[in-house]
A and B are shown apart, each in its own frame.
Chain A
Amino acid sequence: MGFMNLFKHFLSDGWGVHPDDHKRPAADAPVRIMPVPTKLYLPLQQHLGGPARPVVLVGQKVKKGEIIAEAQGMVSAPIHAPTSGTIVAVTEVTAPHPSGLTLPAIILESDGADEWCELRGCNDPFALEPAEIGKRVAAAGVVGLGGAAFPSAVKLIGASRAQVTTLVINGGECEPYLSCDDRLMRDAAAGIVDGIRIMLHATGAQIALVGIEDNKPEAIATMAAATADFPQVQVRPVPARYPMGSEKQLIQVLTGIEVPADGRPADIGVVVHNVGTALAVRVAVREGKPLISRLVTVNGACASAPGNIEVRVGTLAEEVIAYAGGLKGEGLGLARRVMGGPMMGMQIPHWRVPVVKGTSGILALDAGEVAEQEPNPCIRCGSCVKACPMGLLPLEMSARIRSEAFDEAIDLGLKDCIACGCCAYVCPSRIPLVQYFVHAKGELAAQDRAKLRTEATKKLAQQRQERLEREAREKAEAAARRKAEREAAAKATAATAETQGASA
């Protein structure tokens, strides 16, 4: 077995990439708290799932923390007023999306008082029923703060139903440049651990494993100190390697279990939450405060004063950057604006895009960092194969997608792709591989929709055909019946006449 393991070790060079993390000095700068801007732009869809539905009217005065849009559907999250003020519009704003398309949003004008609405906290969350914690987390609009923004309550309740055994807390923060989770763990370790314990209670899991990349020794130290009294919460340093913070990879590294391709972590008894989410859960349950602000890393070579800033949800990136110290040289060297991390974040067309619940970073990258170059042909070097954390063949998939053989790309595992960007990061030919995969996934979704539509049309046409046939048949039958009746009547008359004639 020893030999086999050695052999295996040589066979697999290890997935992922080791990008320059660019986390310092931003990670070491103390958190700055940004004052409330005059106007907040709150998109109704800040989470995965159905958009929230506004429950306020234009001109209505709201207090800080008051619900302004309610959850809609099974997977959704409500949105709360990040400050007190007046609703000035329900309209469309540019969303944090590379297309630059607009999303419906509520615009709130601050009254400067920043006055809380009435809050319903809880001094002993461990006395609450797990389901009640789920309800409170849902009501507070807490979503995954790692970036995907999946409604946390849905996960907590689902985990409790699936009877998970292990709670994995993601403190990996493997994306370069970002340090908001790192900062949170250094500054609010006690609150995070409290949140983790509440989550353990809510899910029924026995143990919580906090995975932190070993490039954050300060966070590991403070978290280890904060968990010292709670043996059920364990800090586990993991190697710094991108994408360590990806759900499936982190689960495998921490527990040694693989999530089945068509399953969810809950199927193998695991649920994953981000450290920031843990803190938001604590605040939601203990203090009754909804999720209305978050830590955002402002970074990139063009940012004058990189650092972490506590920002109200709905603040424009423009204002965050201005508060953080602006851009170097009035933004002259700016090559790309990114929301999120450089590996999976999205390019935004301009800075007038609001921070949403899932925004972990605002990056002002210069040309050197983006390193954009014209793509060359693939030389089949296999770097992407070695880097892919999912064990896919990006070069083969992209070749299939180029020739629009989407089915073959699916056979190669297109749907297992997590769009982490490792392949494109290492590609010597600079092929925008992720772009291919995103394009193919979009194309497939469009095909599925078109298929549904054709099927629906076909069904309608078929129904119409059946109806027409039925009507024709019925008409014919009715005509035949009437004819038969007429003939019978005529016969009867004739017979009567005959009998009458005979009798006459």
Chain B
Amino acid sequence: MNTAPFTAQPVASPHAHGGNSVTRTMFRVQLALVPATLYGFWLFGWPAFFLWLLTILACLGFEALSLKCMGSGRIKATLHDGSALLTGWLLAMTLPPWAPWWVAVVGGFIAIVIGKQVFGGIGQNVFNPAMVARVALLVSFPVPLTQWVTPLPMTHLAAPDFVDGLRIFLGSLPQPDAIASASLLGFTKTEMSRGIDLIHSLGGEHAPALSWIGARSGSFGESASLLVLAGGVYLLLCRIITWHAPAAVLAGLAIPSAIGHAVDPAHYLSVETHLLSGAAVLGAFFIATDYVTSPNTGAGQIVFGLGIGLLTWVIRTFGGYPEGMAFAILLMNALTPVIDRFAKPRILGRDRKGKALDVPQTKGA
């Protein structure tokens, strides 16, 4: 590849710039994650904080290491763009809050090295790095990745203090059994497999509660749907993302679940349960809108989002795993180039196929 003409002093117009930058964009997304993250810390205590911190540090470290191995001269500039930090942050949000330290490190390695740098670094990866790591961890280490805890706010007496939190995180202190819990999706899946239908399992006293504010067991950052949603709305308002993908994801999940629940409430979870469980909102606003791995046009993003929503519902309802968001996103990531090929904008003066519009012949020549 000949880059010589482009590295020279640019002489072509424009001689002005709108001021947007990758760093600024990534910073805004991180800002949008802050409320849900802080709430997660409060909800799940010190172990969750250590997990979050180490996942981000691991991502930054592996990013720097990969760049160094490749002999890149732009290590600092690349770390400065904030993308590795964001990947780590998003990955941490999807992990069980009390996952041990090595989950964070292995996750960071998979996300950055295998999910991103192997493809050629920022902008080149086919799959969302955080989702690659999350799925690889889930498939490889199913036990620590499905150990949920009941929320135990930091102010609670039984909550681990700083030292205990660190020890739980480092694995030297076993998790107290009393606070182990199941997520709602996992619980219903297990009960269904035991032949207990939804009406009975959810009616039982052990059924995990579901609440908008996230006071329930689940991943560290995604249980507080309302706060994640607020972050998403902030991103919409400052035009970092458009409405297409999130709306399509939620619609793709809501429509089949509404139909299913209406037909047979004993076997199909309600719309509310689907939307508030697992990674639905986080996935819709923060993962499906990942620039690199989603289609370029609004129409393409709608197809992409509907696919994610529908696949999530299918996996949750009929698949072996209780949660399917990450799998659905990876599947649709793979389809993105195809969607991009078909969902192109129409060029002015041309029809959808790229043929020039006809010159009207009505006037006398």
Contacts and interface: CB of A to CB of B under 8 A. Distances in A.
A434 interface: yes
Given A263-B356, A342-B16, A363-B15, A390 B348 contact: yes
B199 to A, nearest CB: 38
A117 to B, nearest CB: 38
B195 interface: no
B20 interface: yes
A258 B349 contact: yes
Interface in A258-286: 258-263, 267-269
Nearest to A335: B15
Contacts of B123: 377-380
Nearest to A11: B298
A162 B364 CA distance: 9
Given A176-B16, A435-B11, A413 B292 contact: no
Interface stretch (A62-70, A180-188, A317-325, A419-427): A419-427
A260 B356 contact: yes
Interface string A338-359: 1000111111000000000000
Interface in B1-18: 1-3, 5-6, 10-18
B354 A435 contact: no
Majority SS of interface residues in chain A? loop
B292 to A, nearest CB: 5
A116 interface: no
Nearest to A428: B20
Contacts of A306: none
B19 interface: yes
B81 interface: yes
B291 A391 contact: no
Contact of A371 (B19, B121, B359): B19
A403 B3 CA distance: 9
Contact of B359 (A260, A342, A374, A435): A260
A434 B357 contact: no
B217 interface: no
Interface stretch (B21-29, B96-104, B144-152, B272-280): B21-29
Interface stretch (A221-229, A381-389, A464-472): A381-389
A261 B364 contact: no
Categorize the interface residue count of chain B: 35 or more
B204 to A, nearest CB: 44
Contacts of B350: 260-261, 413, 416
Given A379-B292, A392-B345, A425-B18, A432 B12 contact: yes
A11 B300 CA distance: 11
Interface in B220-244: 242-243
A370 interface: yes
B358 interface: yes
B334 to A, nearest CB: 15
Given A383-B20, A425-B18, A435-B10, A411 B354 contact: yes
Contacts of B22: 376, 379, 428-429
B122 interface: yes
B11 A258 contact: no
Interface in B290-334: 291-292, 296-299
Contacts of B15: 336, 338, 342-343, 345, 347, 363, 365, 369-370
A17 interface: yes
Interface residues of A, number: 78
Contacts of A176: 16
B296 A371 contact: no
B194 interface: no
B344 A393 contact: yes
Contact of B10 (A17, A419, A432): A432
Contact of A393 (B3, B296, B299): B296
A395 interface: yes
A378 B5 CA distance: 18
Contacts of A428: 20-22, 24-25
A263 B18 contact: no
Given A382-B291, A382-B296, A425 B1 contact: no
Nearest to A399: B123
Nearest to A434: B12
B11 to A, nearest CB: 4
Nearest to A419: B13
Contacts of A395: 296
Interface in A82-137: 98-99
A173 B18 CA distance: 19
A267 B360 contact: yes
B66 interface: no
B12 A260 contact: no
A426 B354 contact: no
A163 interface: yes
B347 interface: yes
Which residue, B10, B14, B122, B123, has most C-beta atoms of chain A within 10 A?
B14
Contacts of B25: 379, 381, 428
Given A342-B16, A432-B10, A263 B359 contact: yes
B83 interface: yes
A338 B356 CA distance: 35
Contact of A268 (B77, B121, B360): B360
Contacts of A380: 123, 291-292, 296
B76 interface: no
A345 B17 contact: no
A122 B356 CA distance: 43
B16 A370 contact: yes
B16 A385 contact: no
A13 interface: yes
B356 A425 contact: no
A336 B299 CA distance: 40
Contacts of A263: 349, 356-357, 359
B13 to A, nearest CB: 5
Given A260-B359, A391-B348, A430-B21, A343 B16 contact: yes
Nearest to A346: B13
B206 interface: no
20 contacts: A12-B298, A13-B242, A19-B18, A98-B12, A162-B363, A252-B348, A263-B356, A343-B16, A376-B122, A378-B123, A382-B296, A390-B347, A391-B348, A425-B16, A432-B10, A432-B12, A434-B12, A434-B13, A434-B14, A435-B11
Interface of B: 1-3, 5-6, 10-22, 24-25, 77, 81, 83, 121-124, 242-243, 291-292, 296-299, 340, 344-350, 354, 356-360, 363-364
Nearest 8 Cβ contacts at the A-B interface? A421-B14, A261-B349, A261-B356, A435-B12, A260-B357, A371-B17, A391-B345, A342-B16
